[in-house]
Every structure is written in C-alpha cells, then in structure tokens.
Amino acid sequence: MLGGKESASPRYIFTNLSKLTRMLYNEQDDPLLNFIEEEGCSIEPEYYVPVLPSVLINGAEGIGTGWMTFVP
C-alpha cells in the first residue's frame, strides 16, 4: 500500500531458539508434535510439551466463573 515502506525492518525478521530451550523441550518429542506450516515452511508446533511444567517454575494465579487458582 505504501510502496514497500510498510514492510518490517530486516533485523526483526529472524528469530532463534536459546540454548536453554532444548533443556525444557526435549528434541525427541518433535516427531510427536503437529507443526504449523506457513507459506510452505514449518514454523512452530501447535503446542509445546515441556519436561518440567512451566506453571511449576513461574506459578499461576487466576479467577474464573466459580473457580480460583493459585500456584505459588
């Protein structure tokens, strides 16, 4: 619409996983996951299955209709 001036800066186009990622998400689980494809490229799984549930690391707190949760 703006002749290409609305495109993203090249420094924001690529991302990489940190080394810590494979410690939390086992590489052997990859064949079991359903990867999303965009423009013919496999980009990421629909969901991740961590070795250690992140709710135990980060905690959680929330409220819903008739229910409340608190994981310190």
The residue ranges of every structural domain in the chain are: 10-71
- Residues marked active site are found at 12
Amino acid letter, residue 39: E
Residue 1 has pLDDT above 80, yes or no: no
- Are 24 and 52 in contact by the 8 Å Cβ rule? The answer is yes
pLDDT digits (tens, 9 = 90+) for 40-68: 888 888 988 888 888 888 899 999 888 99
pLDDT digits (tens, 9 = 90+) for 16-26: 778 888 888 88
Residue 4 has pLDDT above 70, yes or no: no
- Dist CA 46 CA 32 (whole Å): 11
- What global pTM score does this model have? 0.52
What count of residues does the chain have?
72
Residue 26 CB partners (closer than 8 Å, separation 6+): 49, 51
- Dist CA 37 CA 30 (whole Å): 14
